[in-house]
Chains A and B, each alone.
Chain A
Amino acid sequence: MSFKRPEEISSPIVMGGYDKSFLKLLYLRMVRAREFEEQLYYLFLTTKMPGTMHQATGQEAVAVGVASALNTNDYVTSTHRGHAHCIAKDVPLNVMMAEMFAKRNGVCKGMGGSMHLCDFSRGMLGAFGIVGAGIPIATGAALTSVVKGTPQVAVSFFGDGAINEGVFHESLNMAALWKLPVVYVIENNQYALSMPNDLVSAVTDLSSRGSSYGIPGVKVDGNNVIAVYETAKKAVEKARNGGGPTILECITYRIRGHARFEPAEYRNKEEVELWEKFDPIKRFKEAALSSGDITEVELENINQQVEAEIASAVDFANSGEDVGAEDYKKFIYEIPSESEGNR
């Protein structure tokens, strides 16, 4: 068993040429995603937040780099580890936080929770709690663009574990066959719960998994937000222009355990510490400061803005009404009376 070492995939973060406002936006989205996860971790420890959660701490550059290459009305499907994808697609923190608290003012009215966050007004078609399930659904969203002749691109985020699901292969085949505008993002955080990739995949170069279908694969340093953005941008524009699907393998690392407080004892401490040094936010900050593209004060202002947003999101969630015992009856079918038959 082995893991990928950060220095094997690390690439320099090159700021050059981008507007300061765009660079600041990348940083803002990453910090939002990080602080949201940190706040949840704290809240789970200290309060009675219901359910479970899967955190994307340390993987923010993948979500933010890819989503920043998209338009608001482009489609995204996400996973059980989906908080960062939503935040990168600008789903407001307050309704996400309220959903975590199972409140009526949650983005899914308290009916979905952490694993099913979605926001259709932002093209966020859902986090799917079944591994790989979002892959054909994103592919179908891309089919809509072809049938309707609209320019929207669909992106499916999924992990290294999902590539061994049948729907991954079925979807890849159809997307390539019909040149659908879809980008498949393998967020390779190196663990499918306890299993490192080389113990579950016969071929560990995941970006090559589309080769049977003629789909080009690109491997990128998933902790380098600029590199992810640039690679995603190319794939998205190619898809938008009728060039068909691309596989993007973003190599990153799952800093926390699989879920909630799962201690991840199946890997050693040194490995985690090594990857913590390659933290995507820390690396971005260092690069920005050393190139002089963003000042320390500007970064600190963003940190403070996020801190305030998180505090206000928690207030918003606390002020919301708890989900009522019979709220679910409104959501089984479009016509509620048919939820219960006429019994």
Chain B
Amino acid sequence: MRPLSISEALREAMVQEMRSDPNVILLGEDVGRFNGAFNVSNGMLDEFGPKRVWDTPISEAGFMGMGIGAALTGLRPIIEFQYADFMFCAMDQIVNEAAKLRLMSGGQASVPIVFRAPQGATGRAAQHSQSVEAFFMHTPGLYVALPSTPYDAKGLMTRAIRMNDPVLILEHKLLYGSASPGGGKALSDSTISSIGSDVPEEQYEIPFGKADIKRAGKDVTIIATLMMIHRSLAVAADLEKEGISCEVIDPRTLVPLDEDTLLTSAKKTNRVVVVSEDISRGGVTAELSTLIMDRAFDYLDAPVVRVAADNTPIPFGPAAERHVIPQIEDIKKAVYKVLED
């Protein structure tokens, strides 16, 4: 075990799998010569050469479709989208082709493809900031994973590459812990905890559909993903001083969803806060709070409280972005609110 950043952990998972399986290839914009816009594929072109690491033109629908064609015929492509927002250029290939082919073909087709993208608001304005998970958890046929720690990133990526269905891995730009080549200093946020930074050198898988309790507690359950895990952990540490014990749970995969772990916690604490960086309308918090109310209603001492981004494109100005995206104080307020009754 040694500490890694999430980018290093993702890279190690890809590199180790590419060494052991010649069918794994990487495609995307600037993934080779430039090492990836967030440095995730650093050195991979040098190690594997241009027949395994493909620097593509700016043609998201085209290279997503090519990845699907390659996956149907025996390769296991990893596709990098430079920003999650750019996946919308490839929506037909993702939603109509990758996700539907197994069913449409009566099980003949397997689409073993991993597509990954950085998301989250980091001062880059509306077209480079969106949290997109709800679009894809709304698409049957896809798996959706959101690693919040380096340990989870390596294990989920390794598992994803070995799965025979399309997997979307959404990564948070603030969590990478590495700078873009030529992009200056690493993005960061003082609330990012070091939890899960120690990563084994050997390969390991984290199964999909297994949530992780990042912090055990008894008074309130906080369910969160990506950056919101770290903000929730900061809130939990703070509130401990006031005698409030928070359990912080990361589903790690939204599809499939570990409903049992979430419900067990809800039934234990009787009070649930759901936090996500995507918007509230039709979003992750809507889905998760419905689950809790459907299946644990009799155990709840208060309505589930949702904390999500405002229903708006992400504005540029720092004060506005901060206002739109859930902050530590928003999560703290939500915990107080769920404890009111």
Contact of A75 among B57, B62, B73 (CB under 8 A): B73
Q: How big is the A interface, by class?
A: 35 or more
Q: Does A133 contact B (CB under 8 A)?
A: yes
Q: Does A174 contact B (CB under 8 A)?
A: yes
**Contact of A144 with B259 in the complex, beta carbons under 8 Å:** no
Nearest A residue (CB) for B59: A170
Nearest B residue (CB) for A334: B164
**Contact of B105 with A137 in the complex, beta carbons under 8 Å:** no
Q: Does B196 contact A (CB under 8 A)?
A: no
List residues of chain B with CB within 8 A of the CB of A137.
Answer: 65-66, 68-69, 72, 97
**Contact of B70 with A133 in the complex, beta carbons under 8 Å:** no
List residues of chain B with CB within 8 A of the CB of A167.
Answer: 61-62, 65, 92-93
Q: Does B63 contact A (CB under 8 A)?
A: yes
**Contact of A154 with B69 in the complex, beta carbons under 8 Å:** yes
List residues of chain B with CB within 8 A of the CB of A166.
Answer: 61-62
A126→B98 CA distance, assembly (Å): 12
Binary CB contact string for chain A from 149 to 168 against chain B (1 if under 8 A, 0 otherwise): 00010100000000000110
Interface centre among A148, A154, A328 (most CB of B within 10 A): A148
List residues of chain B with CB within 8 A of the CB of A174.
Answer: 56-57, 59, 62-63, 66
Contact of B74 among A133, A148, A338 (CB under 8 A): A148
A331-B103 in contact given A133-B97, A170-B59 (Cβ < 8 Å): yes
| Min CB gap B31→A, angstroms | 14
Nearest B residue (CB) for A77: B69
Contact of A144 among B59, B70, B104, B256 (CB under 8 A): B70
Interface centre among A120, A143, A177 (most CB of B within 10 A): A143
List residues of chain B with CB within 8 A of the CB of A334.
Answer: 102, 110, 163-165
Binary CB contact string for chain A from 299 to 321 against chain B (1 if under 8 A, 0 otherwise): 00000000000000000000000
Q: How big is the B interface, by class?
A: 35 or more
Task: Work out how many contacts link A and B, with CB atoms closer than 8 A.
Answer: 170
A332→B97 CA distance, assembly (Å): 13
**Contact of B66 with A143 in the complex, beta carbons under 8 Å:** yes
A136-B65 in contact given A128-B97, A333-B141 (Cβ < 8 Å): yes
Contact of A138 among B54, B69, B93, B165 (CB under 8 A): B69
Q: Does B106 contact A (CB under 8 A)?
A: yes
List residues of chain B with CB within 8 A of the CB of A183.
Answer: none
| Min CB gap B43→A, angstroms | 20
Q: Does A5 contact B (CB under 8 A)?
A: no
List residues of chain B with CB within 8 A of the CB of A31.
Answer: none
Q: Does A330 contact B (CB under 8 A)?
A: yes
**Contact of A109 with B57 in the complex, beta carbons under 8 Å:** no
| Min CB gap A74→B, angstroms | 11
**Contact of A118 with B105 in the complex, beta carbons under 8 Å:** yes
**Contact of B259 with A328 in the complex, beta carbons under 8 Å:** no
Q: Does A135 contact B (CB under 8 A)?
A: yes
Q: Does A106 contact B (CB under 8 A)?
A: yes
A116-B105 in contact given A128-B97, A341-B256, A342-B209 (Cβ < 8 Å): yes
| Min CB gap B261→A, angstroms | 10
| Min CB gap B57→A, angstroms | 6
**Contact of A333 with B106 in the complex, beta carbons under 8 Å:** no
Q: Does A119 contact B (CB under 8 A)?
A: yes
Q: Does A146 contact B (CB under 8 A)?
A: yes
**Contact of A140 with B67 in the complex, beta carbons under 8 Å:** yes
Interface residues of B in 27-52 (CB under 8 A from A): 51-52
**Contact of A111 with B105 in the complex, beta carbons under 8 Å:** yes
Closest 9 CB pairs of A and B: A140-B69, A136-B65, A170-B62, A109-B106, A140-B66, A108-B106, A170-B59, A137-B69, A116-B104
Q: List 6 A-B contacts (CB under 8 A).
A: A107-B106, A140-B69, A140-B70, A143-B54, A332-B140, A338-B209
- In addition to A141-B70, A332-B102, A333-B141, 20 A-B residue pairs with Cβ atoms within 8 Å of each other are A108-B106, A109-B106, A109-B107, A112-B104, A112-B105, A125-B109, A130-B96, A136-B61, A139-B69, A140-B65, A144-B69, A144-B75, A152-B73, A167-B93, A174-B56, A174-B63, A333-B102, A334-B165, A341-B259, A342-B258
Q: Which residues of A contact B (CB under 8 A)?
A: 75, 77, 106-112, 116, 118-120, 125-126, 128-130, 133, 135-148, 152, 154, 166-167, 170-171, 173-174, 177, 328, 330-334, 338-339, 341-343
